[in-house]
Structure 1
Amino acid sequence: MATQTILLIILAGIIALFVSLLQYFYKGTGYRKRNLLFSTLRFLSLFALLLLLIDPQIESTTYTTVKPVLAVAVDNSASIDYLDEKQQVEQTVHEIQENTALNERFDIDFYQFGTDLATLDSLSFNDSRSNIANPLKTFSSVYKTSYVPLLITDGNATLGTDYEYFSASQKQPVYFLAVGDTTIYEDVKIDRINVNRYAYLNNKFPVEIIASYSGDTEKTNQLEVFSGERKVYSRQLQFSEAENGKVVNFYLPADAVGIKQYTVRLTPLENEKNTVNNTKNFGVEVIDQQAKVAIVYSYLHPDLGALKKAITSNKLRDVEVMDISDFQATDIPDYDLLILFEPNRGFAKLYNKLEQLNKNRLTIIATESDFNMLNAAQGTFKKSNTRQIDEVRPRLNTNFSAFLLEDIGYADFPPLNSAFGSVTINGDTDVLLYKNIGGVSTQDPLLEVTEIRGRREVLLLGTGIWKWRAQSFIENQSFEKFDNFIDKLVQYAISTDKKDRLRLDFESFYYGSQGVVISAQYVDDNYNFDNRASLSITVRNTETNKTTQVPMVLKANFYEANLNMLSSGTYDFTVKVAGEQTSASGTFTIIPYDMERQAQNAAWDKLKRTAIASDGATTTLSNRNSLINKLLKDDRYIPSQQSAEKTVSLIDFKFLLFIIVASLAIEWFTRKYNGLI
Structure 2
Amino acid sequence: MNLIMASFNLIYTIPTIILILILILIIVGVYFYYRRTLPDLSKKDKIILSTLRLFVLVVIVLSTGELAIETIAKKFDEPVTALLIDNSKSVSSEQNLIREKLDKIIRQIKNSNQKIEIFVFNESPRLLHLDSLNQINFNGHSTNISKSINEILKNKNDKNYQNVILITDGIYNSGENPVYLTEKSEIPFFIFGVGDPKPKIDISIDEIITNDLIYAQNQTPVRVNIKSNGFENQFTTISFFEDNKLIEKRDFQIHGNYQELEFFYKPEKEGEKKLSFSISPFKNEYTTKNNFSTRYVKVLSNKIRTLIIAGKPSYDLSFINQAIKTNKDLQTATLIEKNDGSFYPLFGNESFIDSADVIFLVGFPSTNNSDRFIRKVYSKIERDNIPLFILINPDTDFNRLVLFKQFLPFDWRSAFGTASQILIDVPEEKSKNEILNIGSNNPVQVWNSFPPIYRVDREFLSKPESEILSYFKIGNSRINQPLIVSRNLNRHRSIAFLGFNIWRLKLLNAMNEEESIYFERFINNSIKWLTTREVEKNLKVQVSKKIFDINEKVSLIAQFYDNSNQPVEDEQINLEIFQGKDKITSTIFKPIGNGLYTAEIENLQQGDYSFQATTEFSGKKFSDNGRFSVTETETEFRDLQLREDLLKRMSAITKGSYFHISNSDEFINNLNQYLTKKPKQREVTSIIYIWNSPYTLILIILFLSIEWFLRKRWGLL
Fold-level match, TM-score > 0.5?
yes
Given the superposition, is the C-alpha separation of residues 528 and 610 from structure 1 closer, same or farther in structure 2, using an over 3 Å criterion?
same
Q: Is the 8 A contact 1:65 1:639 kept in 2?
A: no
The equivalent position to 1:331 in structure 2, one of 331, 352, 360, is: 352
SS of the residue 1:347 aligns to: helix
> Which deviations, in whole Å up to 9, do the C-alpha atoms of 1:552-602 show, x marking residues without a partner?
432545434455865541303123257964321222232746343415856
Q: Is the 8 A contact 2:608 2:630 kept in 1?
A: yes
Map 1:90-101; keep pairs closer than 5 Å: 96-97=105-106, 99=107, 101=109
Equivalent-residue separation in structure 2 for 1:296 and 1:392 (angstroms)? 14
Map 1:457-496; keep pairs closer than 5 Å: 468=463, 473=470, 482-485=486-489, 488-489=492-493
Map 1:446-465; keep pairs closer than 5 Å: none
1:206 Cα deviation (Å)?
1.6
1:633 — aligned with what? 673
AA in 1 matched with 2:569 = N
1:110 — aligned with what? 118
Q: Is the 8 A contact 2:141 2:634 kept in 1?
A: yes
1:389 Cα deviation (Å)?
11
> Which deviations, in whole Å up to 9, do the C-alpha atoms of 1:311-370 show, x marking residues without a partner?
99xx99987663353553443553346689768444399589979x986657999xxxxx
TM-score by length of 2: 0.54
Unpaired segments of 5 or more residues in structure 1?
Answer: 1-61, 366-385, 395-407, 418-462, 647-677
2:82 — aligned with what? 71
Equivalent-residue separation in structure 2 for 1:129 and 1:470 (angstroms)? 23
Q: Is the 8 A contact 1:69 1:107 kept in 2?
A: yes
Equivalent-residue separation in structure 2 for 1:351 and 1:163 (angstroms)? 45
Unpaired segments of 5 or more residues in structure 2?
Answer: 1-72, 130-134, 338-342, 391-397, 415-457, 472-478, 495-527, 685-717
Structure 1 position 280 matched with structure 2 position 296: no
| Pairwise CA RMSD | 5.6
AA in 2 matched with 1:222 = T
Map 1:246-645; keep pairs closer than 5 Å: 246-294=259-307, 296=309, 322-323=335-336, 325=343, 328-332=349-353, 334-336=355-357, 344-347=370-373, 414-415=411-412, 468=463, 473=470, 482-485=486-489, 488-489=492-493, 502-504=538-540, 506=542, 510-512=546-548, 518-524=556-562, 527-542=565-580, 544-556=582-594, 558-561=596-599, 568-577=607-616, 581-590=620-629, 592=631, 594-598=633-637, 603=642, 605-606=644-645, 609-610=648-649, 613-614=652-653, 615-619=655-659, 625-634=665-674, 637-640=675-678
1:624 Cα deviation (Å)?
6.0
SS of the residue 2:284 aligns to: coil
Equivalent-residue separation in structure 1 for 2:300 and 2:187 (angstroms)? 50
Equivalent-residue separation in structure 2 for 1:283 and 1:304 (angstroms)? 33
> Which deviations, in whole Å up to 9, do the C-alpha atoms of 1:456-496 show, x marking residues without a partner?
xxxxxxx9988556856459999998344486447999999
Count of residue pairs the alignment pairs up: 491
Greater Cα radius of gyration, structure 1 or 2:
1
Equivalent-residue separation in structure 2 for 1:496 and 1:605 (angstroms)? 44
> Which deviations, in whole Å up to 9, do the C-alpha atoms of 1:150-174 show, x marking residues without a partner?
2223332111223357657876543
Equivalent-residue separation in structure 2 for 1:473 and 1:200 (angstroms)? 28
> Which deviations, in whole Å up to 9, do the C-alpha atoms of 1:246-297 show, x marking residues without a partner?
2333433334433443433344444222222233233433322244354646
AA in 2 matched with 1:511 = I
Equivalent-residue separation in structure 1 for 2:233 and 2:170 (angstroms)? 27
Equivalent-residue separation in structure 1 for 2:79 and 2:490 (angstroms)? 46
Q: Is the 8 A contact 1:64 1:641 kept in 2?
A: no
Q: Is the 8 A contact 1:360 1:493 kept in 2?
A: no
Given the superposition, is the C-alpha separation of residues 644 and 578 from structure 1 closer, same or farther in structure 2, using an over 3 Å criterion?
closer
**Aligned-residue identity in percent:** 17
Equivalent-residue separation in structure 2 for 1:346 and 1:393 (angstroms)? 18
Given the superposition, is the C-alpha separation of residues 617 and 493 from structure 1 closer, same or farther in structure 2, using an over 3 Å criterion?
closer
Given the superposition, is the C-alpha separation of residues 525 and 266 from structure 1 closer, same or farther in structure 2, using an over 3 Å criterion?
closer
SS of the residue 1:545 aligns to: strand
Equivalent-residue separation in structure 2 for 1:493 and 1:254 (angstroms)? 21
Q: Is the 8 A contact 1:393 1:415 kept in 2?
A: no
AA in 2 matched with 1:632 = N
AA in 2 matched with 1:570 = Y
The equivalent position to 1:198 in structure 2, one of 210, 213, 223, is: 213
SS of the residue 2:141 aligns to: coil
2:240 — aligned with what? 226
TM-score by length of 1: 0.57
Q: Is the 8 A contact 1:569 1:589 kept in 2?
A: yes
SS of the residue 1:158 aligns to: coil
Q: Is the 8 A contact 1:73 1:150 kept in 2?
A: yes
2:8 — aligned with what? none
Given the superposition, is the C-alpha separation of residues 581 and 223 from structure 1 closer, same or farther in structure 2, using an over 3 Å criterion?
same
Equivalent-residue separation in structure 2 for 1:348 and 1:195 (angstroms)? 37
